[in-house]
Structure 1
């Protein structure tokens, strides 16, 4: 099976959406370790067994995306998820880990705000660095098209994708010609779960706004079509 080059109808970009990613792409690309972005790594927060091969694959990508309360490998721990991060995709309710604000001036921070469609307060937590320089992702060009692709109704039904799936969606929209290596998304194999177990920090409940069985189906489609490569 060859790598997918055509999107199904619900994943096609409209003109406004394409224009948004065209504007965002130069900014995100400026955080890459190479001029040509041929491969990106998109890392979720599922606890994973050590793997030097996986960690090396992540760290050798041209651009590395991580999500919310991520962790990275420490010098005294076995290689598992690598030590690089170039782009952080997060939401306002993030529980920062020791790595979240580390070297924040050297990263791009993309904040998603799907809750603003219905109820979310726009207040910024006082403990965030005042010069974080985050970019707020517009719901019209990001959250709503993804909702349509997975069969959710963000605007009326209060259903939207998890931040990890939004991260994967953004990465593949920004760099459709690059190879995308993804890892650490527990819902791919466990869409029935009702709580998240994180690589760092305590477990938390799957929010009522999420339908992770729909997300699993969407990402499985990308894996099966080889649009993305999933690293176990």
Structure 2
């Protein structure tokens, strides 16, 4: 696809055309089979811990949006996949150097050409965003969408780091929970229910490093 066709497709919300830029979801999920995945959230509390080595020891490290990384000791240093709902600045793209970018936001007008043409690009289907929104009773966070997506695969394990459902707010901004459109209480209950039914899912306390689920 040429840049012009991309901009036309984006402007007119031509989802089928945009989807041609994406790796098929079955192929994406097949890459996860048998792997241990670390999904790193952006809770401020994560910077107070020492979980970086555990994060980097995973087979695959996935970070979210602007993904602040104050230190390798607390956050690790690898970024294999980057899940986005916001545009990425060129300097951040170079800093992360991800092998794959996943566009999770339903707001296609935020999607830029540099991201859409990147190797291994994945575009999350609008229908799946809508289904999860109905389930949670609010727009899902990028982290929730990734959990939902990853657990559909045959991965060996999914460990969540830096998830406290906005109890310590986010390292990537200064907004409070009541200033964002998500229902963090609903997401917390949803994740707890998933962990209770799927032994592959574990959540590590952002500070203490002890399993919460």
2:124 maps to: 137
1:64 maps to: 61
In 2, the alpha carbon distance for the partners of 1:223 and 1:165 equals 13
1:55 maps to: 52
1:45 maps to: 42
Paired residues for 1:137-176 under 5 Å: 137-140=124-127, 142-150=128-136, 152=137, 159-175=138-154
Cα gap change, 1:100/1:167 in structure 2, threshold over 3 Å: closer, same or farther?
A: farther
More helix by share: 2
Cα gap change, 1:178/1:221 in structure 2, threshold over 3 Å: closer, same or farther?
A: same
Query: Within the alignment, does 1:102 sit opposite 2:80 as a pair?
Result: no
1:90 maps to: 84
Provide the aligned length of Structure 1 versus Structure 2: 178
Query: Within the alignment, does 1:181 sit opposite 2:159 as a pair?
Result: yes
In 1, the alpha carbon distance for the partners of 2:110 and 2:195 equals 37
Cα gap change, 1:123/1:185 in structure 2, threshold over 3 Å: closer, same or farther?
A: closer
SS at match of 1:79: helix
Query: Within the alignment, does 1:209 sit opposite 2:196 as a pair?
Result: no
- 8 Å contact kept, 2:87–2:110: no
In 2, the alpha carbon distance for the partners of 1:95 and 1:25 equals 24
In 2, the alpha carbon distance for the partners of 1:143 and 1:130 equals 19
Which TM-score applies when normalising by structure 2? 0.68
Task: Spell out, residue by residue over 1:82-125, the C-alpha distance to the aligned partner (whole angstroms, 9 max, x if none).
Answer: 1111111111x346596444353x511010133xxxxx462545
- 8 Å contact kept, 1:43–1:65: yes
Shift of 1:184: 0.8
In 1, the alpha carbon distance for the partners of 2:190 and 2:129 equals 14
Task: Spell out, residue by residue over 1:140-174, the C-alpha distance to the aligned partner (whole angstroms, 9 max, x if none).
Answer: 2x313323443x2xxxxxx3201111122222223
In 1, the alpha carbon distance for the partners of 2:173 and 2:135 equals 31
Unaligned runs of at least 5 residues, structure 1: 1-19, 115-119, 153-158
Shift of 1:205: 4.5
Instruction: Quote the RMSD (CA, aligned, Å).
Output: 3.1
Cα gap change, 1:56/1:130 in structure 2, threshold over 3 Å: closer, same or farther?
A: same
- 8 Å contact kept, 1:42–1:183: yes
Unaligned runs of at least 5 residues, structure 2: 1-23, 206-213
Cα gap change, 1:197/1:131 in structure 2, threshold over 3 Å: closer, same or farther?
A: same
Query: Within the alignment, does 1:22 sit opposite 2:22 as a pair?
Result: no
Which TM-score applies when normalising by structure 1? 0.63
